[in-house]
Amino acid sequence: MVSFRTRATTMNGTACTAAAEMSIYDLLGIPESVSLRDIKMAYKQLARKYYPDVSPPDRVEEYTQRFIRVQKAYETLSDP
């Protein structure tokens, strides 16, 4: 199973030292037994949410990093 390390961010934008392990399924918010169609739907929804051009001005870096992690998770799961 592939996992990504994520950092929590405080309200003022500084990163916390504690890192949480998150599977690519958790990152996309889907169970491991979903179809490719459901994986694609989850990816599209999160990609729209975290797309850097539509992020709030004060959270561009955070949204960009989340977008990249979501994109990598989708690429991994959609490649048979």
Q: In 3-state terms, what secondary structure has residue 16?
A: strand
DSSP string, 37-66: HHHHHHHHHHHHHH-GGGS-GGGHHHHHHH
Q: Which of 3-12, 41-50, 67-76 shows the lowest per-residue confidence on average (mean pLDDT)? A: 3-12
Q: Tell me: the pLDDT tens digits for 51-79?
A: 999 999 999 999 999 999 999 999 999 98
59: its two tokens: 């959270």
Q: Which CATH topology does 23-78 take?
A: Helix Hairpins (1.10.287)
* C-alpha distances in Å from residue 5, one per residue of 2, 23, 28, 29, 66: 10, 9, 14, 16, 11
Report pTM.
0.71
Q: In 3-state terms, what secondary structure has residue 68?
A: helix
Ranges of each domain in the chain: 23-78
